[in-house]
Chain A
């Protein structure tokens, strides 16, 4: 069964560094999403992406964040200058329309 994959599974970075989180959505899905979950807390919507552009973004998704679909298969989330409070699990999801399929997540630790 096709599934969403994410790399790396765990990323440790220093404050102020740039990180790129990678996702491979299920092929033929049209909608892509990034969420984050701070440990023990609820899942927060970051951004949705459709037809090669951002469809919606949350207040969290400020100028330090960007998303790309560089090669038609990968879907990346870049955080330009990481802060301590960016430490969280980041989940990618893809959707053919209604139902979202989540990847296993990347745990980002900012020190």
Chain B
């Protein structure tokens, strides 16, 4: 059974600082997704990573995928308060139509 772990679970950071969220998964997969969830809201798609070495950037967020290490990172550059949310990675189970979500990282950016 595919397991997906994120760390840290909670992250409190100052505005302007950089930080990285890690997503590790246990079995082979070539598709990984990052989502943002605001309190009481649905999931907003941030990035779709479809191959080893894929890197995508949007604003202050950059995501990468290393399928050999079974690791994805979500890097935050110069954090702002508006980035406060919970971030989930989700991994596609190869050969199925099943997506397993990570535990989530609750990010709080302090002004």
Contacts and interface: CB of A to CB of B under 8 A. Distances in A.
A55 B97 contact: yes
Given A44-B101, A45-B99, A48-B98, A104 B42 contact: yes
Contact of A98 (B31, B41, B42, B98): B31
A99 B42 contact: no
Interface residues of A, number: 22
Given A55-B96, A98-B48, A98-B50, A43 B42 contact: no
A1 B35 CA distance: 19
Given A42-B88, A43-B88, A100 B99 contact: yes
Contacts of B78: none
Contacts of B65: none
Contacts of B44: 102
B76 interface: no
Given A42-B101, A43-B88, A43-B90, A101 B96 contact: no
Interface of B: 31, 33, 35, 41-45, 48, 50, 88, 90, 93, 96-104
